[in-house]
Amino acid sequence: MRVDTRSWPQAAVGGTGNTNAIVQQGEKISVRIAHADPIVNAGLAALLGAHADMDITSEGTADVIIIDHRGGLEHMRRSASAHHGEQQPKVLIVTQLEREWEVRTAMMAGVHGYLLQNADSEQLLTAVRTLSRGMRYLSSELSRCVADSFTRIGLTSRETDVLQLLAQGQCNKSIARELGIGVGTVKTHVKGLFDKLGATARTHAVVLATRRGLVGDSYLNQPH
């Protein structure tokens, strides 16, 4: 799936800047914090609650909801089935998950902002205020990786199958037998994986895919 990155304006990507520039005097931003980690929840509430333009709420409607990665994806699925025209809060994911695939999955689900948990308080404020204005926000640390990922065409289902078997260390003949396809077809899919991942060898392809969250981490712990 290709995502139109024009829906993520450059002005809303990264940087700290002067967050007060997008806040008009007297305005209150209603924020609901629903992170799965209670310690993160408490920290977010303390940081945001110290600012006059933030109104922290635990229930009811809100301008912005701050949530963890899994919760954010579930929230977007529920929102997709909500009644048309019903006002939905802007969703800001705060997480430790920073791999390309994890960020892309959230963006493709329709979240409005993505921020890493190690971000400073100024980035948090900028993200919430940006979302409240109807814009999107992407943590500056992730902007280059995501921009790069969107220049590639996503893997086909068969390429994904081949990749998983490559990660298990299987040779072309074994992959062909496992998938019920010819060895020549496997070679074609492997070449496609190299092109899309920017890899130069089988091991390189699997390492790159692992770092991006396309396969599990177990491969990196195997002896080579």
Yes or no: domain 8-149 corresponds to CATH 3.40.50.2300: yes
pLDDT in tens, 12-52: 455 444 455 445 556 799 999 999 999 999 999 999 999 99
Q: d(Cα 217, Cα 224) in Å, to the nearest integer?
A: 14
Question: What's the pTM?
Answer: 0.63
The answer to whether 125 and 48 have CB atoms below 8 angstroms apart is: yes
The answer to whether 45 and 70 have CB atoms below 8 angstroms apart is: no
Q: CATH topology for 157-221? A: Arc Repressor Mutant, subunit A (1.10.10)
Low-confidence ranges of the chain (pLDDT < 70): 1-26, 82-86, 144-153, 213, 215-224
Query: What's residue 9's pLDDT?
Result: 41
Domain boundaries, the chain: 8-149, 157-221
Structure tokens at 215: 């396969």
Task: Classify residue 154 by burial, with Cβ atoms within 10 Å: 0-12, 13-18, 19+.
Answer: middle
